[in-house]
Structure 1
Amino acid sequence: MPDEPGMPDFEVPVGLFQDLEDLKAQVTRLTAEVKTLTDGAAADETRDGDEETAGEASAEDEQQYPPFILLLDSPEYDDELRALTEWVEGVLVPGYLAEPSADARWCHLWFDHPVAVARLHACWLAWQELTDPATCGYTGPSVWHRDHLDPCLRELRASGGPFQGCTKGENQVNHRLPGQVPSAWRHETG
């Protein structure tokens, strides 16, 4: 029997509630982005057109969203890797990684593996966005685990992943760097 007169009696699937919470989080995040953009546009209109002020605003816009780590050059790459390392070693490793095994590999020199750096950086950027209730609602951490952390760790720790040549035995650690494929991203000097 329905709780309210005129309301149909049916069961709502649990997944529908999760989808609804995800949508609410996305709307909250988008609302915050729109507010930031409109506040920035209003501030731009009040400026006197000074080139120096416009240059400062452009620099602020560039710093608002960090670029993909593999596209950075030193010293920006080094700074971003240092911050990523603090997160990986301070949050990810102690909180989410059990003892490495043949089925769940991990290399303590993960920062030597470009694929691992790229995946962990992407996961970290998502973590920064999805752990702030002001922009993502309360379901952000759940979305981060489901959509970012779990797939990232599955790929990194797989037997064919970037750590496939790295092993840790009782008395020995074997670290093997992946081969370098020629790329348009890297310019060889020589």
Structure 2
Amino acid sequence: MSDDTPTLDGLAEDLEDLKAVVNGFASQLEHNTNTVDQVAAKVATLGDGQGDDGENGKDKERPKTPPFILLLTGDVYAAELAALAGWVQHLLVPTYLGEVSSSATWCARWWEHPTAVARLHAAWLAWQELTDPETCGRTGPSVWHRDHLDPMLTQLRAADGPFAGCMTNPDRPQHTVLPVPPVEPLPGGPVVAQVAPATA
């Protein structure tokens, strides 16, 4: 036999290598197929009821996307703010705020600060999704803390954040909120809604 003649051990090793490569390709194909199926399902969901006069096109409700709270007005804004206030009062404040200081500010009238309302609302929407076992998986709460809660609190409680003009001692309130400029319609765009302060 010549030196380049394959041995049984070498062939068996080559066969195992080929199996591993084929299994890798099969695993990647399965992953890609699942991804394509998920994207196709999302596209189909978004397309339902949009100009389709098919059998159930008019009966299907379009999926609702979370509202940007500062674009809401009137009763819709008031209802969304009330729901947010319940979450802030019963979960966020007692669990995560702790001591208030000049380096970690907080305002008892947070709803009067549009920046705070927007950031708190975004964190609350993420909390709803990432603590729901149907949508979050096992890592949802960890992702919420890392990606939503911590950055939001860092921004809100910073010494130069939206609560910087609010005193930390409740016996000496000195609440400063910048005036809201009048609403002007954007050329060819929507009117930006003023945020109406809610009552305490």
TM-score by length of 2: 0.65
Q: How many residues are paired up?
A: 155
Q: Which residue matches 2:41? A: 34
Q: Which of the pair is proportionally richer in helix?
A: 1
Q: Which residue matches 1:61? A: 62
Q: Which residue matches 1:140? A: 140
Q: Note the residue ranges of structure 2 that are not aligned, 5 or more in a row.
A: 1-15, 17-33, 185-191, 195-200
1:92 deviates by 0.5
Q: Which residue matches 1:103? A: 103
Quote the sequence identity (%). Answer: 52
Whether contact under 8 Å (1:130, 1:140) holds in the other structure is yes
1:169 deviates by 2.2
Whether contact under 8 Å (2:72, 2:193) holds in the other structure is no
2:81 corresponds to which letter in structure 1?
Answer: L
- Cα deviation per residue 1:115-159 (whole Å; 9 max; x = unaligned)? 000000111111111111221211011111111100000000001
1:174 deviates by 1.8
2:41 corresponds to which letter in structure 1?
Answer: V
Higher relative contact order (CA 8 A, sep 6+): 1
Q: Note the residue ranges of structure 1 that are not aligned, 5 or more in a row.
A: 1-5, 7-26
> Quick one: distance in 1 between partners of 2:153 and 2:175?
19
Report the RMSD for the aligned CA atoms in angstroms. Answer: 3.5
Q: Which residue matches 1:19? A: none
1:99 deviates by 1.9
Q: Secondary structure at the match of 1:173?
A: coil
- Highest CA radius of gyration, 1 or 2? 2
1:137 corresponds to which letter in structure 2?
Answer: G
> Quick one: distance in 2 between partners of 1:126 and 1:116?
15
> Quick one: distance in 1 between partners of 2:46 and 2:164?
48
- Cα deviation per residue 1:36-93 (whole Å; 9 max; x = unaligned)? 9559959x8542x6xxxx2x64xx426x223100111111101100111011111111
Q: Secondary structure at the match of 1:174?
A: coil
